[in-house]
Amino acid sequence: MSRLYRAEDIATLPRNATKASLGCGNPIAVAELREGETVLDLGSGGGIDVLLSARRVGPTGFVYGLDMTDEMLELARHNQRDSGVENVEFLNGVIEEIPLPKDSVDVVISNCVINLSLDKPKVLAEMARVLRPGGRIGITDVVADNGLTDADRRERGDWVGCIAGALSFEEYENGLRTAGFTDITVESSHVVADGMHSAIVRAVRRPHD
């Protein structure tokens, strides 16, 4: 945890929020959040990235956290109450069918969650749908070297360990482009296994034609 987040940031959070974080990076830093923005965190877990985002966007901004498990949502809402953050709402749902309307958020963040999906093209398309034209993503995720086959990725880890389901760098870039994104970068931040990386993913939703 300490190597992913600034000590002064996590020191202000409830301990249960930091204990429940299982991410591979710091999407808050990746997304470069600004005051007044509306943010969506895919796979929000115990709420650490939602609570940190809420402070970045300030009282004029708003942050949604999306998670599919009742237990995590209960924990996240408890952490929200303990932190005193009000500009937040935690939603029950899956990242393949985001329960928000089209063009409703400025930024989508996620921390080592998209690689767990069995339908990644749907997730990428859903991100583009809920983003306003010109909106952006700031994601940390596990990504594979381009030369690794699906079998190679399975040999290096399982789905629960965020390895077997990872896209390659090229697959991620092509998937985002197909979904309607531009200004795409997928860059390794550190190696997590042989040929597998924790990566920083940035992209901008193309304006309406």
Report the run of H or E that residue 194 belongs to, with start and end: none
**Residue-level pLDDT at 97:** 98
Domain assignment present for residue 79? The answer is: yes
Domain assignment present for residue 1? The answer is: no
Nearest to 18 by CA among 68, 93, 82, 67: 82
What gap in Å lies between CA 195 and CA 209, rounded to an integer?
38
Domain assignment present for residue 2? The answer is: no
Boundaries of domain holding 119: 7-205
> DSSP letter string over 46-110?
TSHHHHHHHHHH-TT-EEEEEES-HHHHHHHHHHHHHHT--SEEEEE-BTTB-SS-TT-EEEEEE
Average pLDDT along the chain: 86
**Residue-level pLDDT at 204:** 98
| Count of alpha carbons within 13 angstroms of residue 145, beta-carbon side | 12
**Residue-level pLDDT at 161:** 47
* Chain segment 43-74, per-residue pLDDT in tens: 999 999 999 999 999 999 999 999 999 999 99
Inter-residue contact 41 to 49 (CB < 8 Å) = yes
pTM confidence score:
0.87
* Chain segment 125-140, per-residue pLDDT in tens: 999 999 999 999 999 9
pLDDT grade for 166, boundaries at 50, 70 and 90: confident
What is the domain-level CATH number for residue 93?
3.40.50.150
- Structural domains of the chain, count: 1
